[in-house]
Amino acid sequence: MPSPPEIRILQSPLELFEAAAAEFTAQASESVRARGRFTVALSGGSTPKSLYALLATTPSIPWDKICFFWSDERHVPPDHSDSNYRMANESLLSKVPVRPDSIFRVRAEEKDADAAAQQYEQTLQQFFHLSSGDVPRFDLILLGLGPDGHTASLFPKTSALNEHHRLVVANWVEKFNAHRITFTFPVLNQAACVIFLVSGPDKSPILRQVFEDSSANLPSQHVRPTNGRLLWLVDKAAAGNLSGGTYFAAIPPPLP
């Protein structure tokens, strides 16, 4: 039975990123002690950039034992300003002694988005030595929350929401008139720990919906690790609209 979701409301963005960095560091040390490595999927967007910059200056992280993946990527080359890989590389990976062969980015320069998604799925299958039908178990998956309730690149009313077998898909997002390459719910819900990082007043309306509106059926409400932790780290501004009622009343049990 999954552990109940946890929420931590931090007083400021700085405290938020410090709390996230402490979680990352503790989990990295524990995973390396227990399994010799730490597998983490990074999120994109703007919010985690401050976390990555803080981690780049955080001592005692076993960088050479960490394997980096991305929970989603924009369909752009790695040097493009919209690239999630580029953001993480500039704010973190280029500044710490990570092994180059432990960075598994999405080959999003591939013209055919479906081919890029299949390639990344194969990368997961090879890295985690998966047999057909198996789902990888990441030690940690970082996620953000979009103003429409999307997470990774699982946007409302998109086909990837109904994908229960593939690990990675190319998801057509009408409003961007573009594909996104994204992990699917099976991968997100197989993780040992999922951390949502949410900051700023503009996220307060959607955060309230996620936690308190069970009829909203938002993609981020369907992230419920079946056998893992779900931790929401949010700052006070983002939590500004929460009624203080029973959080998570709206978060349904994990998908079957």
Number of residues engaging ligand 6PG in binding (CB under 6 A) = 14
**Dihedral, CA atoms, 51, 237, 235, 199, nearest 10 degrees?**
-30
Q: How far apart are CA 52 and CA 226, in angstroms?
A: 27
**Could you identify the residue written with the tokens 């057509």?**
172
Query: Of the candidates 31, 39, 43, 118, which one interacts with ligand 6PG according to CB under 6 A?
Result: 43
Element of type H or E holding 118: helix 113-127
| CB-nearer residue toward ligand 6PG: 45 or 186 | 45
What angle (nearest 5°) sits at the alpha carbon of residue 192, between those of residues 163 and 91? Answer: 90
| CB-nearer residue toward ligand 6PG: 45 or 78 | 45
| CB-nearer residue toward ligand 6PG: 65 or 188 | 188
Q: Which of residues 64-83 bind ligand 6PG (CB under 6 A)?
A: 72
CB of 84 to ligand 6PG, least distance (A): 5
Is residue 45 near ligand 6PG by the rule CB under 6 A? yes
CB of 248 to ligand 6PG, least distance (A): 20
Element of type H or E holding 234: strand 229-235
Q: How far apart are CA 187 and CA 72, in angstroms?
A: 12
Using CB under 6 A as the criterion, which residues of the chain lie in contact with ligand 6PG when the complex forms?
Answer: 43-47, 72, 84, 144-146, 150-153
